[in-house]
Structure 1
Amino acid sequence: MIKSKEDLKHYLEMDRQALSIKYKKPKLLGDEVWRFQIITRKVEYYLNVKNSIVYRPILHWLRLKRHILGTLLGFSIPTNVFGPGMSISHRGTVIVNSKTKIGKNCRIHNCVVIGRAPVIGDNCYIGPGVKIFGKIEIADNIKIGANSVVNKSFLEPGVTIAGVPAKVVSRSE
């Protein structure tokens, strides 16, 4: 959660690095996903730090921009869900419940639905078409294969899970 201007800068830099972007500012065309992530982080900053009547017009403007861009990209991602290093691979449907908590350095692909209130650890990879739902926990360094349905907790770190329903398919050594 962003609690200061320094946190905002840290989150923005971690997100940029997670997306493997070399330049400092998004291009006018072609960087819509990165632009969405920047606006999301700014909304989080103004919600958590600058939540006074003076900053409300800025917050409302940023929320409007975020809503429009999110609709164009197919994203329904609430604020204060992702840790630093959020990496959305490209445009496409991504739906995340507001009670979800996702750790740092999470790579998420398109057509992903995360429902109810899962807690997802750090350094996780969520492949295309994955469905995660329920009050479950996913440990750190877990990779979730494409089109998997995760409906139970996986507490062993460093495993790869896949299938319907998901099960461990490999362990990292």
Structure 2
Amino acid sequence: MITSKEELREYIAADNAWYCPSGAKEKIAAAIVCYPQRELKRYLYFLRKQEYYINTARGNKVKGLLGLYYERRKNLLGIRLGIEIGPNCFGKGLCIYHGGSIIVNTAVRAGENCSLHGGNCIGNKGYRGAVPRLGSNVDIGYGAVLIGDIQIADNTVIGANSLVNHSFAEPGSKIAGIPAKKIDMYQE
């Protein structure tokens, strides 16, 4: 949870660690051509600014309005990108590789350095409010769905198009399938 300007800078820097073009030519090209990575970077920037202002408002009307302003900018860009992530869901270092149908319930809590590859849904089962809790360094493959009152341990890799509907408490697990189960990455 972002509670200071210093933390805001840390979160933004960690989120953008792999998005940053290296030179002036690349930055200009990204702005002109409107690379998807640039738009994803902007989305994460608006998300973090929204988090900062809603977490630090404490009755301050200016900060409250700034929180709404950044929420609106995030939501408008999110509609174009197909991304819906509520504030304070992910720790710093969130990486979104592709836009398109990423939906995260606002009650979800995840650790640092998580990756979303697109086409993800992380939320409840529809009849209960319980949502997944994710550890740090969780990599969620394209099209993976995580639903219900489950816990995913640190350093877990979730395969593409997996349906995760029960907990995986062992750190460093590789899981895949419908429903997801632990797999050995080196099977022939």
TM (normalized to structure 1)?
0.92
Return 5+ residue gaps in structure 2 as ranges.
Answer: 125-130
Contact 2:54 2:64 in 1 (8 A): no
Task: Tell me the distance in 1 between the aligned counterparts of 2:13 and 2:113.
Answer: 12
Deviation per CA, 1:122-168: give whole Å up to 9, x if none: 01100000010011100000000000000000000111000000000
Task: Tell me the distance in 2 between the aligned counterparts of 1:100 and 1:24.
Answer: 36
User: Superposition pairs for residues 92-103 of structure 1, below 5 Å?
Assistant: 92-103=100-111
**1:62 aligned counterpart, secondary structure:** helix
Contact 2:19 2:41 in 1 (8 A): no
User: Superposition pairs for residues 43-82 of structure 1, below 5 Å?
Assistant: 43-51=50-58, 52-82=60-90
1:142 aligns with 156
Tell me whether 1:129 sits opposite 2:143 in the alignment. yes
RMSD: 1.9
2:45 aligns with 38
Q: Which amino acid letter does the alignment assign opposite residue 61 of structure 1?
A: Y
Change (3 A) 1:24 1:66: farther
1:21 aligns with 20
Structure 1 residue 61 displacement after superposition? 1.9
Deviation per CA, 1:9-59: give whole Å up to 9, x if none: 110111111x34245997532210010000000000000013411223322
Task: Tell me the distance in 2 between the aligned counterparts of 1:74 and 1:147.
Answer: 18
Q: Which amino acid letter does the alignment assign opposite residue 165 of structure 2?
A: N
1:111 aligns with 119
**1:170 aligned counterpart, secondary structure:** coil
Task: Tell me the distance in 1 between the aligned counterparts of 2:148 and 2:46.
Answer: 28
**1:158 aligned counterpart, secondary structure:** coil
Q: Which amino acid letter does the alignment assign opposite residue 134 of structure 2?
A: I
2:9 aligns with 9
Q: Which amino acid letter does the alignment assign opposite residue 78 of structure 2?
A: G
Tell me whether 1:162 sits opposite 2:169 in the alignment. no
Task: Tell me the distance in 1 between the aligned counterparts of 2:54 and 2:22.
Answer: 27
Deviation per CA, 1:111-132: give whole Å up to 9, x if none: 1000121111101100000010
Contact 1:129 1:147 in 2 (8 A): yes
Q: Which amino acid letter does the alignment assign opposite residue 135 of structure 2?
A: G
TM (normalized to structure 2)?
0.85
2:128 aligns with none
Deviation per CA, 1:78-130: give whole Å up to 9, x if none: 01000000000021110001111111000101110001211111011000000
Task: Tell me the distance in 2 between the aligned counterparts of 1:43 and 1:90.
Answer: 21
